Structure 1
Amino acid sequence: MNGNQAKPGDDASRRPLGDLSGMAELRLRAGSRPEELYEAAERLCREASDDGAVASATAVRTTGRVADVLAETRSRDCARFAVDMVGRLLPTGPVGRQEGDRLRRSVAAKLAKEQQLRDLVPLFEELPDDAEDPSADVRACLLGELALIGAGRGRPALDAYAERLRELGHPLAALPGTRFDIEHRFTVRVRGLGSVKTPDQLRSRFPEILPTDSGGAAGHTAGQTPDGTRARAAAEPFTAGGWAREPEVRFFTLPRPLDPDDFNINFVKALPLDCLVGEGMRRGGAVACRTTPDDVLNTLFAAAYDGGVNGRPQGGAYARLYAWNSLYALLGLPADVPFPEAVGQALDHRWLRFMAFTDWFHHDTADEAFAVLDPTRTRVTVLAATDTDADG
């Protein structure tokens, strides 16, 4: 062996992180000398900041891979170094900012899942001064992940940190500190219950609403009420998750209250919707089924949490934020309405899932479409999203 080659036991901080290519070696280093991995990552990111976009992208990917391993290695030091890697070291250029968001969310999720709470508490002893500081954001994500698993409440350091984030206006700080019952399906995977891709699958999971001629007649009387800000909020889980196409979000007002029995597929087909253009020209009929707010909220959460087929998984904390933002937009609620009140109002609305055989609904990867009728029965919101690229 050449005397210049690295040997087992060499100081990892003196070796390029790229040389630690095997996961087994990375895990060994993380378990025995995490500080050396941090020092090597610090040098890599510092040098990359002076070497342009390509070097920065490589540094971000490499540092993120090491931070993930540290986050999954149970120890107080590993938790601290993982947070500091993605909170302090990543290059601050465009590549670092975009990929850094993803890494902070990924690391936070792994920390909440793998680390013991007592080893996470010290991460919150120093309160932040800036809500936009990446170091504060990764901790905000971690608080959000802990809330999803019902951990962390009653710990003074965590409560104080959450309160400071609220004072600073961090977006995640507005979320409930505990998981609501309406969120009971978040992150829960049931075997055999993937995306609904066919009308038969839709009917097997949800009660079908029979069409009526009067429903179609009522749909033709609906007038559109465009609202770009509200539409963007409703679409947020899908746009943040990188779904293949821009979702369709439309708001309608009716001249008179709609008979509840007329809120069906004939009503929806009468609305001027891009997702239903060409309906009836293909084999197979459109169908609408009644659903519930928790089903809709879980779908919104999953769209951002899993990301599109070629998209960007957002992690639990931000997926939860985007799901709630979307639900508030579907309900037409201002942001200052308390979450329990929003849940109550959601229960007073009527919710439909629908699908059809058109150029929009590919019955391939994922198609989601909902219609929402408000308690006055005069306002309707429609949200449709597809993860199939029509041009692909």
Structure 2
Amino acid sequence: MSHNQETPGDSCSDRPRREELQHLAELEPEARYEAALRICAVGDGSQGASATRTVGRIAETLADTRSRHCVTFAADLVSRLLHGGAMSPGEGDRLPRSVAAKLVRAQHLRDIEPLFVELPDGLSDPAVELRACLLGELALIGSGDGRRSLEAYAERLGELGHPLARLPRTRLDIEHRFAVRVRGLGSVKTTKQLRSRFPEAPSTDRGAAVGHGVSDARDDGRANAAARPFRAGGWAREPEARFFTLPNPLSLDDFGISFIKELPLRCLAGEGGRRGSALACVTTPDDVLNELFTASYVGGVNGQGQGGAYARLYAWDSFYALMGMPTGVPLLEAVRRAADHRWLRFMAFTDWFHHDTSDLAFAVLDPTRTRVAVLAATDTDVHRDRPA
């Protein structure tokens, strides 16, 4: 869920719709479902978008109400809305992800399992997307393993080429922090916090000299994959994903902030314009992967969470992009290779890093020590920059 989710239909013109929703919430689940069906039947014309939002909200409330019938009702309403084509692309993506997350959180697995009895013929069936998201959410909590209907459905999704099907049906050890909140461990906003959690990388003159001689290795496809978690989550500013090649291997001792500061990065433009010293610390692959997952799972201040299934997919796609690895490489092999990379977190005091909401910046050195990837993202609105 995002820090500040803005739900559609909160304007004065939608006040009657809000009142209608309040009334519907007081009804029994069967009555709410029947009311949603009536809205689906008449929800066209100028009120079509508003009616669609109402039905979507009913589906979400039903998903959150523990009952075998509510599982069926919520799944049916999502299929109807997606089949009708009345939803915007963004809402059409968000609704099945939201309903799937609520179903897995609120319902018994025995009541969800009947949704998987019938195998799909293709991915165009609107019922398929919700079920794919359900499998993804169940995998994150380690549920559903050994259930024949779920395993058969997951195998069929793989045959059909659904993007979520490339993810394992169980959580990997490297994913142990996904969706887990630890008291006292929020966003890293200051250099003091960064130093307290991670060992500082050295700053050397040799690193600065090597950084000054790097070559830009532009790759738009790779950059898009690396930035996807932040774009999907609606972070305030366009992320910066850059790739560089070095003429000679870089010593690990020289891979620090002095090297990074020599790279032509937007996030470091105007370095020194704010009070404070830039800092880089050595981190681990699981820390980076967790931050990538959280970026779209939680969503930006003015964005929306994408649900666990797709947040996991976007995190892995970004992780692969940072390592320059084809997506066809199995995940466990990617985990093994990640250990051979050097991973840094860094921050500076520029117009990019605001130290008040969420700032993230990573630099990754590949095993040959001749290729570096950088990913930086901030959730502070560029039009509301604070003075130094």
State the TM-score, normalizing by the size of structure 2: 0.91
Question: Match of 2:145?
Answer: 153
Number of residues of Structure 1 aligned to a counterpart in Structure 2: 369
- 1:105 and 2:97 are equivalent in the alignment: yes
Among 116, 119, 130, which residue is 2:122 paired with? 130
User: How far is the alpha carbon of 1:56 from its aligned partner?
Assistant: 2.7
Q: Measure the CA separation in 2 of the matches of 1:124 and 1:18.
A: 34
- 1:374 and 2:373 are equivalent in the alignment: no
Superimposed CA distance per residue, residues 138-184 of structure 1 (whole angstroms, 9 cap, x where no aligned partner) = 11000000000000111111111111111111111111111000000
After superposition, the CA RMSD in angstroms is 1.7
- 1:364 and 2:356 are equivalent in the alignment: yes
- Match of 2:361, SS state, is strand
Conserved 8 A contact 1:60-1:100: no
- 1:51 and 2:45 are equivalent in the alignment: yes
- 1:37 and 2:32 are equivalent in the alignment: yes
Paired letter, 2:262: A
Q: Measure the CA separation in 2 of the matches of 1:278 and 1:119.
A: 56
Question: Match of 1:21?
Answer: 21
Q: Identify which range, 314-323 or 273-282, moves more after superposition.
A: 273-282
Question: Match of 1:235?
Answer: 227
Larger radius of gyration between Structure 1 and Structure 2: 1
User: How far is the alpha carbon of 1:92 from its aligned partner?
Assistant: 4.0
User: How far is the alpha carbon of 1:210 from its aligned partner?
Assistant: 2.4
- Match of 1:334, SS state, is coil
Conserved 8 A contact 2:48-2:86: no
| 1:18 to 1:262, Cα distance in 2 relative to 1, 3 A | closer
Question: Match of 2:107?
Answer: 115
- 1:306 and 2:298 are equivalent in the alignment: yes
Q: Measure the CA separation in 1 of the matches of 2:86 and 2:200.
A: 48
- 1:331 and 2:326 are equivalent in the alignment: no
**Seq. identity, %:** 66
- Match of 2:339, SS state, is helix
Question: Match of 1:271?
Answer: 263
Superimposed CA distance per residue, residues 279-337 of structure 1 (whole angstroms, 9 cap, x where no aligned partner) = 12321010000000000000000000011100121000000000000001001111110
Q: Measure the CA separation in 1 of the matches of 2:56 and 2:94.
A: 9
Conserved 8 A contact 2:223-2:241: yes
Question: Match of 2:8?
Answer: none
Conserved 8 A contact 1:106-1:315: yes
- Match of 1:43, SS state, is helix
Q: Measure the CA separation in 1 of the matches of 2:79 and 2:144.
A: 21
Runs of at least 5 residues in structure 2 that lack an aligned partner in the other structure: 1-15
State the TM-score, normalizing by the size of structure 1: 0.91
User: How far is the alpha carbon of 1:223 from its aligned partner?
Assistant: 0.6
Superimposed CA distance per residue, residues 13-63 of structure 1 (whole angstroms, 9 cap, x where no aligned partner) = xxx98665338x626512xxx2x3223212212322x314xx232122211
- Match of 1:391, SS state, is helix
Conserved 8 A contact 1:60-1:91: no
